[in-house]
Amino acid sequence: MKVLHINKSDHTGGAAVAAVRLLDVLHHYGSDVRMLVLEGSGRHEKVEVLAQSRISRILEKIKFLGEVLSFIPFEKNRQNRFSFSRSRFGFDISRHPLVREADVIHLHWVNQGFLSLKGLRKLIALGKPVVWTLHDTWPFTGGCHYPGTCGGFSSTCGQCPMLKSPAPDDLSARQHEVKEKMYKNAAITFVGCSRWMQQMAAGSSLVRKDLKHEVMQIFNPVDTRLFTPGEKNDVRQKLGLPGGKKLLLFGAANVADPRKGIGFLLRALNYIAQKEPELKEQLELMVFGKNVELLGDKLPFKLHSFDIVSSEAEMARLYQAADLFVLPSMQDNLPNTVVESMSCGTPVVAFHIGGVPEMIQHKKTGFLAAPGKSKELAVGILSVLEDHEEQGRNARIFAEENFAPGVIAHQYDELYKVVTGQASTNF
């Protein structure tokens, strides 16, 4: 059975990380898998890059720019520019050799100039079984990647709060209608990385109608051999970090992204500094990602900046060096950072949002604060610091039982057998 994974990139973004990890896991356990991406590093033998020639790379940029410009007349503000995808521009990959020879098409994240709605329709029209891992909500909404408090997708979109001029027949409603026609009688099996995403998809009007398979739930895998507990003092010494301090870790692809919650973290840290002034000499913050420099003098504690970390081995060392990882996001599915941190035996403090409660066991492997409550986030940080070693051990056990490569490979292998008619739906 040949399975083709499709994602915009093999190296940029959380979906890319998760998709390539799954590709590696399935290949390791014997599956015949390949991946097709629009943009790639060219370093992975199982990944084929669509835009390889100079002309195709220029075309890629034009289509991405077309996507951005075509949405500007509809956008409410620049902050939401990449929170909604119109998917008007993209490539037709339906005749690509890897697509033609595949027995199963496995979609991941395909927006921002990769697959347009028209290109997606041609792909689905081939009639091959499609598995679609839901890294966000775009596949079952009228265009948003995270709906926030809007539940319009459960009936039909329209009156979209992300658009400049919400109306019953706005852009979200029209795209919802296009997807509804596209999905009708289609052999698509949606997979939520978290039960939260699974439940939202199952409750959406697009997924409820005319699909041949139910919505499944399978976690993203993590390499538990690479992301493993380390000798904290040795790791800190190699990274040039202090051995006798309490170290908090925070990071994201872009730490300035409002969805990642840096404002909540800053308020939590300021609360800790006021309540526990003696910690100003004991507590320090490690931050990785784009735009770390914007934090400037806003932090009440010493900052260790690591900017963008591209090496997974280096990323693992950051988790190993930290006493806890903080995730102040207000919207998230199944963050790779939480999976990685727990696998390294580092407990996590986060808000009770999205799929996060499915990973963190409150006061056992970390702390779950009420969404948006910075003081409660601060309380969680202080609480876990008192018990981080025990909670770290529990986190590692949980990661091995739920995110280990063999566990995830088996679940997807069984799903592929189901969608191709080689097994029953009971697995």
Convert the pLDDT of each residue in 390-409 to its tens digit.
999 999 999 999 999 999 99
Structure tokens that stand for 374 in this block: 């910075």
Domains plus CATH for the chain? 2-221+405-419 (3.40.50), 232-402 (3.40.50.2000)
The total number of residues shown for the chain amounts to 427
Q: How far, in Å, CA of 49 to CA of 24, rounded?
A: 17
| pLDDT attached to residue 208 | 82
What distance in Å separates the CA atoms of residue 397 and residue 182, rounded to the nearest whole number? 42
Asked if 304 contacts 241 with a C-beta cutoff of 8 angstroms, the reply is yes
- What is the reported pLDDT for 427? 56
Report the alpha-carbon distance of residue 212 to residue 189 in Å, rounded.
8
Span 83-87, average pLDDT: 94
Q: How confident is the model over 97-150, as pLDDT tens digits?
A: 999 999 999 999 999 999 999 999 999 999 999 999 999 999 999 999 999 889
- pLDDT, position 425: 62
pLDDT tens, position by position, 44-61: 899 999 988 888 889 999
Q: For 301-319, write each residue's pLDDT tens digit.
A: 999 999 888 889 999 999 9
Give the residue-averaged pLDDT of 265-287.
94
Asked if pLDDT for residue 270 goes beyond 70, the answer is: yes
Q: What is the DSSP pairing of strand 130-134 with strand 188-192?
A: parallel
Strand 283-290 relative to strand 47-49, pairing:
unpaired
Cα–Cα distance between 284 and 223 in angstroms, integer? 28
pLDDT of residue 210: 61
- Given this model, what pLDDT does residue 69 score? 94
Instruction: Please give the Cα distance from 88 to 408 (Å, whole number).
Output: 34
Tell me: the pLDDT tens digits for 327-385? 999 888 888 999 999 999 999 999 999 999 999 999 999 999 999 999 999 999 999 99
Instruction: Take residue 264 and report the two structure tokens written for it.
Output: 């909540």
Q: What is the pLDDT of residue 339?
A: 94
- Say what percent of the chain tops pLDDT 90: 81
Mean pLDDT, residues 77-81: 83
Distances (CA, A) of 394 to 156, 193, 408: 42, 22, 20
Show Cβ contacts of residue 148 under 8 Å, excluding neighbours closer than 6 positions. 161, 331
386 and 225 in contact (C-beta within 8 Å)? no
Angle (deg, nearest 10), helices 312-321 and 336-343 = 60
Over the chain, what is the mean pLDDT?
Answer: 93
- What is the pLDDT, as a whole number, of residue 316? 97
β partners of residue 217: 192
Closest by CA position to 24, among listed 5, 51, 41, 37: 5
Looking at residue 163, the DSSP 8-state letter turns out to be B
